[in-house]
Amino acid sequence: MSLVKHVVVTLLTLLAVALLAYWTLASSGRMDVAADGAHWPITDRVIESIRENSVARQARDITPQLPDLDHEMTLFEAVAGFEDMCAACHTPPGGSPTALSRGLNPSAPDLAESARARSAEELFWVTKYGIRMTGMPAWGPTHSDGELWLQVALITRFPDFADDEYGNLLAAAREAGVEHVHGHGHEHHHEPADAHDHQHHGHDHDGHEGGDRNRDTSL
């Protein structure tokens, strides 16, 4: 047998043994899927590297559309939205973890740190499309791009928030009657008690820029 054939046969045999060992382990029921357990360090590293590369690649074609949060009502709307959609998992600045957030595996990161580490485009991509097989939902199916950019704009401000700022803003938003609403025909809209038109001011709730992405390989 030539050297090349020898090498090929050896590699194929090793591959077959590895697949058989993996299949035996996977079908034995001995692999732990409990959320209070942990991956092997190598599995963690592989997942992290897949996630980082995937997010970076898919976010690169997105054009940022950050709304101006200097308008008080827009800021209130952003905070009310964060409280409703995100705060149970992502502890806001100065907030305390919830029972839900404590049980998540992988845990939901502190978004002030994510804002330091990630571009607005990456924050938007994850918010819109979610991360499969983690607790991070895709918000794109139920929210317009404008609503999600509003959340991204708020998150990019988190690193500068004083400890009581989020709580104060939320209280002021509630005081002003601003609650989270979203524009896709859901019937559970909460009208503010005094029925002011607080929900829409200027930023585009129906923009769908960055919306269509080419699907890459799924494993």
Q: d(Cα 158, Cα 160) in Å, to the nearest integer?
A: 5
Q: Counting contacts by CB under 6 A, is residue 86 touching ligand HEC?
A: yes
Beta carbons within 10 angstroms of residue 212's beta carbon: 8
| Residue 52 token pair | 């980082």
Q: Counting contacts by CB under 6 A, is residue 139 touching ligand HEC?
A: yes
From 56, 66, 73, 88, residue interacting with ligand HEC (rule: CB under 6 A): 88
| Residue 30 token pair | 């001995």
Q: Counting contacts by CB under 6 A, is residue 62 touching ligand HEC?
A: no
Matching residue, tokens 């092997």 = 40
The count of residues interacting with ligand HEC (CB under 6 A) is 22
Task: Work out how close the CB of 206 gets to ligand HEC at its nearest, in angstroms, rounded to a whole number.
Answer: 18
Sign of CA dihedral 112, 113, 118, 122: negative
Q: Which is nearer to ligand HEC, 51 or 157 (CB)?
A: 51
21 residue type, one letter: A
Positions in the binding site for ligand HEC (CB under 6 A): 51, 85-86, 88-90, 104, 106, 108-109, 114, 118, 123, 126-127, 131, 134-137, 139, 151
